[in-house]
Every structure is written in C-alpha cells, then in structure tokens.
Amino acid sequence: MRVGNKPPAAGKDALTDPMPGLYQRAEAALAQRGYQSPEQLAELSPAAAQRLLYDLQVHQIELEMQHEELQRAHAELNASHARYVNFFDLVPAGYCTVGNTGLISEVNLTITTLLNVARSQMIKQAIEHFIHEEDQDSYYLLRQRLRDIGGPQSCDLRLLKRGGAPFWAHLAVSRVRDDHGRSELRVVISDISERKRAEATCQIASNVFVHARKGITVTDANGIIVDTNPAFTRITGYGREEVLGQNPRVLQSGRQDNAFYVAMWRDLLANGHWSGEIWNKRKNGEIYPELLTISAVTDAQGRVSQYVGLFSDITERRQAEDKVNQLAFFDPLTKLPNRRTLSDRLGQTMASSKRSGRHAALMVFDLDNFKPLNDAYGHATGDLLLEMVAGRTLGCVREVDTVARIGGDEFVVMLGELALDRTESISTARTIAEKIRAALAAPYLLPLAGGGKDAPAVEYCCSASIGVVLFVSQEASQEEILRCADAAMYQAKASGRNAIRFYGEKGSSMPSDPWRNGPGDPLAD
C-alpha cells in the first residue's frame, strides 16, 4: 500500500485489478465525497498517518471477512441450485413449460424418459405433437377450461412414446406469468398406465359381477353377507338390501342336516374351496336345487378376508335328468320300473337273500284277454287298461316290493325279505298273488279314446295268469329265475287262465320245463 505517493497513472496494475476501470471509478467516487487527495495525505503528521494505517488494516480484515461470507453464500447458492436442478430433473413426474406461442420452452429429465425423446428434440416443439391423435380433443378442452374458468385443470389422455406403444398419462396444467409478465403453461405429467389397467380390470370384474347369470354371494370372514349380484335376486327372490348383514343360512331349506354343513365347512377350511349340490329355499318358500361353489379369498398375510359363493339354479337340469332317468329306467306308460331297473333290483334282492337266508319270490303274469281289447277299441284304450292294471297291482303289494312292466301286457312282481321258513314264505307269496289275481279279474270301466269328457265307457273283464318262483341263497342266474317264473305262468295259462301256479309245486305238471323240483333243479333247496 502506498501512503503519500501517487499511484501509477493507469490506476492499479491491470494484473491486480479484478475488474478493469474499477480503481478509477472508486478514485473518482472518493474525490466526490470530499476525501483527502494523495498530496493532502502526504502532509499528515506521523500520528495521523499511523492512525490512518491502522484504520486501513482493520478495513482490509473486514473486506476479507466479507469476501469469505460471500464465498460461503455463493457455495450455498450453487448447492441449492444443484439440488433444484436434481429435483427438477429427477422428480418422478414429468414437467414442461409451454410458452404463449404454444411451444415447449423447458422440460425436465423425467418427461424425456417417459417419451423416450431427447431434451433438445422437445424444446420449441408443440406439446400436441406428443399427444395421441384420438385424444387431441381432450387437450383442446383442457386449454378451453383454462381460458374460461382459470385455475389448475387436469385430464387423462394418451401420450406417444417414441419407439413404443402409447401410454396413459394424467396432465395437471396451470397458467402463470413469467418474469416478463408473459403467459405460459406449466404442465405436470404422471404415467397412470398401471392405474388404467387396474381400473380396466376392476371394470371387467364389475361387469362380470353385475351381468353374470350365476348368483354371487360375498361374505366377510365371519360369513356375513356384504354383497350380492342381480342374479342372486333373480334366483332367490331376495333383494340385495334384504340380505346384507345376514348369514347365508337364511336360504337354507332344511333338507340337509347339520352334519352336511359341518362337513362342508370342514372341507372349505381345509382346502379353501367347496363345491357340490345343495337344496335352498327362495323367498316365496319354494325349495330348489342349486350347484354351489364357495371359495375363500385371502389377504397378503394368507388370512381369510372373504368368502365368495357362486351358484346356479339347476331345477331344469334336475328335471331333464329325471326325465332321462325315467326313460332309461321306467316304463313311460305305466311309470313302473322297466326290465333294466328290475334286473338291478333283482340282483340286490338275490344278494340280500344270500346274506340273510330269507326267501324271496318272483311273479310273472300277463293279461288273458288283452289282444281282443286292442283289436276292438284301439291301442289308446289298451294303454288305459295297462295303466289301470299297474295301479291295481301296486295296491296289492308291500312298499318294499317291486312291480315292473317288461313289455306288452307282461308284468313282474318281486317280493323280497320273506320269511326264513320256506312254507311261511310260500304262504305270504300265495296271499299276495291271490290279491293280485282277484284285483285284476274285477271289471274295468274304460272310457273310449277320443270321445271327450262325456264319452261313453266300456266295461271290460280281463283276468291274469300268474307264475311264481321262490328262491333263497341259490347260485342261479337272473335269467334262470325269470325262466322258471315264465314256465309257471304258462302252466297257469294251460290250466284254464285266471290262475296261480308256483314253480316246482307238487302236483303241477310242466313237461316242457326240465327244471321241475328234482335232481339238477337250480332252484331246489
């Protein structure tokens, strides 16, 4: 530092002057403030000069301290700026600024990643270039709302990703003024593709729930109903509001006992699902069959949170099955078991007889005067007679016995669980056979077919010839048992009809049958 000597003419040395001309400007300002010139400073006394030197040293330290503060503030400002830049670029939402000319003026790194476009290729581009053509109207309406309503506006639309498929984005747009007072748009963009996919999935599930033809019941973990679909109401008759908060047992018909439901819940808790047929009751009291599937819904921890039941009314299916079963196993005219069902029941009776030692009997009979009725009055009248024969025969037997029609006017009666004693069993079988013979021999009053409600009726008599075979614990086949009963029936016809004959009965004569009660007879005791 120079004291009392004039500095160089150029002011400070250019190498030491951080800002050229600053020294001259400062010297001129000093002169305007009336401070002493260098010549005046030279005339100062040593004490005054010493004091001035001290003050200058203190001021120099002050300047150094101010310089350090400025450097620290500058460093903090740089760090803050770096943090802002990082936040601006790396925030998980895309951001861009659209000037009043409609062109993008600023973008962050996230939006360039979303669109797979370099920053330089977005600047000075219209934002519409990155919006799917089918969603241009959505963006136009958003701009219109900004003009008419103001405030932040938003919309969902599809953006174009370079080299990839369009994706759904949420745009939140605000209109602001820049530093020069010009209007600009600040646009925040979020990728909502996952949300849209989840919404689509939920919509599909909702549509399935609402439009499903099967009834759906949703309960909480305690089995309390929390939701039902429209098909539930259509099938059960209960409205949704009527069953919310109720237990599904409100639908129980009472046809299944408590053990059924205990087993159902045991399987459901063990396997997470149960499926089967169940009888439930509609609101109007009608009992109907349904096919029910119950599945447990678990949360992330594996705990049951809900139970979902899907069910369908299978009344029509059951009726169709019953019809098929009726056609397959029963005579369509008389509704009696047919030959197939008789064979099954005869097999069961033979097995039971073999286990218990009790006798059983098989009767075969046909009508003695059936063909003349058909010839005189037609098959419809003959069918009516057959139905009456079936009804009369059923009225003569026990509940455990079987009456079957095996073709034409031929019927079979099977008596099971007779006595252990053969004589007692024969007596029971003879009593039932006699009841049948007497019942069938009584006159029939047959309305003539096609004559209407007041049509005349014809009285007709038609007896039956009955053949009976007794069996117990034999190894004979079903065919052999039926053949023996047939043989006894033909002997009854040969004796003059309207009669009863037992196979192997003493005093009977069946020359055409080699199996009379004697050596080699498979039905002999």
Residues 6+ apart with CB under 8 A from 153: 142, 145, 146, 172, 173
CA distance 398 to 393: 10
Tell me whether strands 500-502 and 464-471 are parallel, antiparallel or unpaired.
Answer: parallel
Q: What is the pLDDT of residue 349?
A: 93
- Token duo for residue 192: 């909502």
Residues 296 and 305 sit within 8 Å (Cβ to Cβ): no
Q: What is the pLDDT of residue 95?
A: 93
Name the nearest CA neighbour of 404 among 413, 391, 396.
413
Q: What CA dihedral angle connects 188, 193, 199 and 203, to 10 degrees?
A: 130
| Spans of the chain below 50 pLDDT | 1-12, 14-15, 507-525
Question: In the chain, what are the domains?
Answer: 91-197 (3.30.450.20), 214-318 (3.30.450.20), 330-502 (3.30.70.270)
Name the nearest CA neighbour of 346 among 462, 222, 479.
479
Cβ-based burial of 401 (10 A; exposed 0-12, middle 13-18, buried ≥19): buried
pLDDT in tens, 63-91: 888 888 888 888 777 766 666 666 667 78
Distance of CA 428 to the CA centre of its chain: 59
Supply the pTM of this predicted model: 0.55
